Structure 1
């Protein structure tokens, strides 16, 4: 694009058509639209990654259609969606919704008269963009939680076996003088902390040492009484949500203290704040967490559907089984709705039977029997 007056471009109406010479009209106007949309989202203080992801998804839709935005139609959305859920690796419902949402937001921007895109397209091409996403061809969001039904929390025996196996690997590597024992120790501690505070992978990976603080009401946890999560799951492109998670397990302090004082300094990282450094002076990667968990899971012969996020499900389930108030658990894991926490909960049959028995005893035991029992 050649700007005859040397000015930049912010939106469709920012530069009069008479001052612009389009060398490749369709391609360059599409680029101009995306530039304007990026500026609009930046003005809304959306994160850079969210903006980049949405632009990429719109580009992908445009490549699929093979036509510019002012020629898109609802049928294109339907054909594109069909392609996304077909083939050997169909996308999940939540991913498809995210793709459709990006296209819908882009079309909302293009059809907003305040930006002048419709007038520009009419002047140059004799047509204008329309909203191609509607309630009949897009995914409806009916639940905050859409995980695969097979994904479940680890029961207590599985969890203990997993942690014991991790510790055994560390002990064997350390006693044999193998160089990688520090990495094994780091990963074993990482998984314990994910479970101990009910964290998501990214929340755990982004932790710094100073994210742990004291809890005046829990002095037994020392400096590790509160885990201040700074990289919680964002909502609608906003900044990461923060929350403070209180330590609840008595073994949390000795586990993390041993790692922080004896193992973490051995990595010699230049950034002394990073909690989980690598030998290459960087933060631990999410795919490494996935791969390590999968290796240990498979070595133990555990259910192949289990993945690191199941530790978070386990945390919720075990707190509920141990009698913690559901609202407390909901706040610990940072859920907006109690229904989402309930979906994370997979209490054991034994727990449910005990709960049922208590309810039945309370409902069917005569009041006189209760009084007699309490007086003895």
Structure 2
């Protein structure tokens, strides 16, 4: 079926507007072109002949059509966003008085739980006796990742003054430059204390450094984790975020306290934490020491 000339002409003008006035990237232009061409093909098949005939029902039907085409929730969201932008442009140009796409919500994009290690795999990874300074450093890094659920950026930015080893706490600066205080588990505390004995004396303030005393880079941490996964016989891709995900998953399995894990991970929105599970809320203070498999303090 030949595309409606009214729709096709408006789409060409909209693309010119995005290119010349808005000056959006070529990649974005390509996405708009593809998504909106699909949209006007759909409208043409619905035997519509003007923008004024398009209503919210047609937009919902278009969304359902995309779903039947096996597009992901994220792709459908992008298509509907393109429709809203197009109608906003048409409104400004006097070609349409309403924005029928404005009130239509896209289906939620699927949020898959990232891969995690089970407790036995974590224990196998961390069950080694350090032999030199780099072993002590790496063990402290991995223990801390799993102990406190840190992001990679948070770990490499840690300074010595961020830690209070006596009370077993550390302060990290996360996304949005927001800080949060976290407990450190018994195994991680021991590993950090041992690393401090081997840390270069003339090192800068960074907690984790190279042998020359310079702050460790993110890429170096990633490579060291891959090294230890291979050396310890751990199958699966070991990366910093996988240790963070394992921390969150194991905490929720043991405690069922979603709010507590949200605070520990530094998530702004609890829906981000809900990718791990849907569980009832309990009290934060009891969770860490009683639930985390490597956080229990030894009795003195």
Give the TM-score of the pair, scaled to structure 2: 0.56
Alignment map for 1:89-100 (pairs within 5 Å)? none
CA distance in 1, matches of 2:187, 2:269: 29
Q: In the alignment, is the contact (CA less than 8 A) between 2:19 and 2:29 conserved in 1?
A: no
Q: In the alignment, is the contact (CA less than 8 A) between 1:153 and 1:346 conserved in 2?
A: no
Equivalent residue for 1:246? 183
| Residue from 155, 159, 163 that aligns with 1:204 | 155
Q: In the alignment, is the contact (CA less than 8 A) between 2:116 and 2:243 conserved in 1?
A: yes
Match status 1:70 vs 2:7: no
Deviations 1:241-281 (A, max 9, x none): 2111123x333332222222x111xx23342x210111233
Match status 1:225 vs 2:168: yes
- Cα 1:68–1:197 change in 2 (3 A) is same
CA distance in 2, matches of 1:282, 1:227: 21
Q: In the alignment, is the contact (CA less than 8 A) between 1:224 and 1:253 conserved in 2?
A: no
Report the alpha carbon displacement of residue 323 of structure 1 after superposing the two structures with TM: 2.1
Three-state SS of the structure 1 residue aligned to 2:212 is coil
Equivalent residue for 1:156? 119
Count of residue pairs the alignment pairs up: 206
Query: Over the residues paired in the alignment, what is the CA RMSD in angstroms?
Result: 4.2
Higher relative contact order (CA 8 A, sep 6+): 2
Give the TM-score of the pair, scaled to structure 1: 0.46
- Cα 1:250–1:79 change in 2 (3 A) is same
| Residue from 248, 252, 268 that aligns with 2:201 | 268
Equivalent residue for 2:296? none
Q: In the alignment, is the contact (CA less than 8 A) between 1:278 and 1:284 conserved in 2?
A: yes
CA distance in 2, matches of 1:228, 1:300: 30
The runs of 5 or more residues in structure 2 that have no matched partner are 1-15, 35-73, 86-100, 280-300
- Cα 1:270–1:79 change in 2 (3 A) is same
CA distance in 1, matches of 2:242, 2:258: 19
Q: In the alignment, is the contact (CA less than 8 A) between 2:136 and 2:191 conserved in 1?
A: no
